[in-house]
Amino acid sequence: MLRTSVFRLLGRTGASRLSLLEDFGPRYYSSGSLSAGDDACDARTYFTTPIFYVNAAPHIGHLYSALLADALCRHRRLRGPSTAATRFSTGTDEHGLKIQQAAATAGLAPTELCDRVSEQFQQLFQEAGISCTDFIRTTEARHRVAVQHFWGVLKSRGLLYKGVYEGWYCASDECFLPEAKVTQQPGPSGDSFPVSLESGHPVSWTKEENYIFRLSQFRKPLQRWLRGNPQAITPEPFHHVVLQWLDEELPDLSVSRRSSHLHWGIPVPGDDSQTIYVWLDALVNYLTVIGYPNAEFKSWWPATSHIIGKDILKFHAIYWPAFLLGAGMSPPQRIYVHSHWTVCGQKMSKSLGNVVDPRTCLNRYTVDGFRYFLLRQGVPNWDCDYYDEKVVKLLNSELADALGGLLNRCTAKRINPSETYPAFCTTCFPSEPGLVGPSVRAQAEDYALVSAVATLPKQVADHYDNFQIYKALEAVSSCVRQTNGFVQRHAPWKLNWESPVDAPWLGTVLHVALECLRVFGTLLQPVTPSLADKLLSRLGVSASERSLGELYFLPRFYGHPCPFEGRRLGPETGLLFPRLDQSRTWLVKAHRT
Ligand code: MSP
């Protein structure tokens, strides 16, 4: 559609055509709505990952959650106006029965287990280039202050009362379950035991006097919030699921446990015999990070985007907004939900021995390679299956061959002996398609390429907004293929720099391909930061020319000067992404045996 409109614009003649280009052209090809002056981008945004349980070492599913948040945040920073407008937190969830039991099983004091595993998450995220601005641990003193304050607010608003809770509790999922969500599972010796229908984890019967939160009062307010904000939960099917849950009864929620049973947590203020429910404790981390209860938190709340896995949707889309409304605050602006990674068709679990270690993957496939794989293959709406052959195949075809090959073809010394960004010739490639003349060399497919790459930044931004990062990467990859087709079609290696007929067209072919590469490099920064840096540096693009606001694609085609023309290429001539060997695929096979 945009292609038609730009061609309509370009089809006009004379002065009016030029002024229209001045007025509209740059906006069209510079992804105007993505630039610094954009209202949406002037506002602050606070991105969060879930905080991770420290009962076991991180796996690729955890890294995936963090990578999605990282890519969203990096893309937002690329839109400007300044990185100060974003905040990005992650951390570890260290209290509760699950951790208390894991520490006891490991023969460790809970603090020892927490320190050890929290450190593993921090190291992993550092290695994986997770660009968080904050890392929170729920065992920190600042968090205890925030949680106890939040509790006090709920109490003072009459939303907590004492009552007896009797029912099923799942320590692995840290949640209460109604009878209908529990089933009997046969054990190894023929007897059966109760498990959660959703997660398959064991449950136990509890009967305790606890503090109870008046969750039932919030059914209607939550429905109003979701109906009034159709984008609150993305992708849409998850929004729909939550509305369906809210059609059912919403019982009050027990928000504390007896301290004699659960000692590893934050005590209820004024009642040491009770420990605050770990989910209430954990959810408040999002406020602790931004300075709650000090007023400074208000500059980041509710401009918040939570990134979460589908298994914790109920906690984030029902309990958390209800707690916030109860405390007189607004629910978060957006909740982005993703599905899970399975391994060779099975759920990842310690007992199945099929847990994929993300650090091994980062070493084996490189940081950028593995980031690209998870974000390119992970689809938020459905579970995705992991196996090593898939990683090697994808990275070889899209990063090594298609993108790396394209860069190499356009910058290799034998084809580009001056090692500069060549000039674009407007007579070889006039901005108006369909012109004929002795020097016109561009064909219909070439105009299609220019149009596809010109609209790519906007398309990519829309996919990010809809939390479909894999589609953004698919769109980039498709344009890379189209650009390779363009180079193949015009075979610059058959053209001669010495020939006055060939030379302007040879330069133009390389110029267009380098311009496409510049767009790809810019758009890949949120996903493959080092690879994108290498690519942009090779093209001679400086640090201040890498934001979306600066992305004026192929300005010469639109009648504007191009700052890159004649510029020397960067000195780094190494491979952009080395091909991987299929024999590197033993990782998951080893787990299968
Ligand atoms: N501690 C809670 C979150 C509290 S947030 C206030 C928790 N922790 S978790 O460690 O179990 O999970 C953290 C994140 O990892 C969740 O978003 C979860 O969906 C995600 N994943 C866990 N296993 C996963 C896969 N197999 N695949 C993808 N993501 C997965 O829940």
Indicate the pLDDT class of residue 350, thresholds 50, 70 and 90. confident
According to DSSP, the β-strands at 182-186 and 192-196 are: antiparallel
Q: Tell me the longest C-alpha to C-alpha distance in the chain.
A: 90
Task: Kindly state the average pLDDT of the residues 1-29.
Answer: 27
From CA 494, how far away is CA 200, in angstroms rounded? 63
Q: 63-72, 187-196, 269-278, 518-527: lowest mean pLDDT where?
A: 187-196
Q: What is the DSSP letter of 357?
A: P
Minimal-distance CA residue to ligand 1 atom 16: 309
236 pLDDT more than 70:
yes
Could you identify the residue written with the tokens 């192929």?
554
Q: 312-316, 352-356, 494-498: lowest mean pLDDT where?
A: 352-356
Work out the angle at residue 378's Cα, subtended by the Cα atoms of residues 87 and 347, and round it to the nearest 5 degrees. 110
Query: 315 CA distance to ligand 1 centroid (A)?
Result: 12
427 burial via Cβ count (<10 Å: 0-12, 13-18, 19+): middle
Q: What percent of the chain lies above the pLDDT cut of 90?
A: 80
Task: Kindly state the average pLDDT of the residues 351-378.
Answer: 95
Pocket lining: 430 vs ligand 1, CB cutoff 6 Å: no
304 pLDDT more than 80:
yes
592 pLDDT more than 50:
no
Mutate to test the pocket of ligand 1, among 198, 311, 341 (most ligand atoms within 8 A of CB): 311
Q: How many helices (H) and strands (E) does the chain have?
A: 22, 18
Work out the angle at residue 544's Cα, subtended by the Cα atoms of residues 543 and 546, and round it to the nearest 5 degrees. 70
Closest atom of ligand 1 to 62 CA is: 15
Closest atom of ligand 1 to 53 CA is: 10
Mutate to test the pocket of ligand 1, among 62, 138, 340 (most ligand atoms within 8 A of CB): 62
Nearest to 550 by CA among 49, 201, 32, 98: 32
Question: Tell me, what's the pLDDT at 99?
Answer: 97
Question: Tell me, what's the pLDDT at 198?
Answer: 86
pLDDT tens digits, 64-112: 999 999 999 999 999 987 666 999 999 999 999 999 999 999 999 999 9
27 pLDDT more than 70:
no
pLDDT tens digits, 550-582: 899 999 999 999 999 999 999 988 899 999 987
pLDDT tens digits, 218-234: 999 999 999 999 999 99
Nearest to 385 by CA among 396, 395, 374: 374
Pocket lining: 340 vs ligand 1, CB cutoff 6 Å: yes
Question: Tell me, what's the pLDDT at 591?
Answer: 39
pLDDT tens digits, 119-152: 999 999 999 999 999 999 999 999 999 999 999 9
For the chain, list the domains and their CATH numbers. 45-338 (3.40.50.620), 401-568 (1.10.730.10)
Question: Tell me, what's the pLDDT at 186?
Answer: 86
Q: 2-6, 128-132, 309-313, 404-408: lowest mean pLDDT where?
A: 2-6
351 pLDDT more than 90:
no
18 pLDDT more than 50:
no
pLDDT tens digits, 263-287: 999 999 999 999 999 999 999 999 9
Question: Tell me, what's the pLDDT at 171?
Answer: 87
- Which amino acid appears at position 425 of this protein? C
Question: Tell me, what's the pLDDT at 83?
Answer: 65
Closest atom of ligand 1 to 316 CA is: 6
Question: Tell me, what's the pLDDT at 117?
Answer: 98
From CA 197, how far away is CA 183, in angstroms rounded? 6
Task: Kindly state the average pLDDT of the residues 289-318.
Answer: 97
Query: 38 CA distance to ligand 1 centroid (A)?
Result: 33
Average pLDDT for the chain: 90
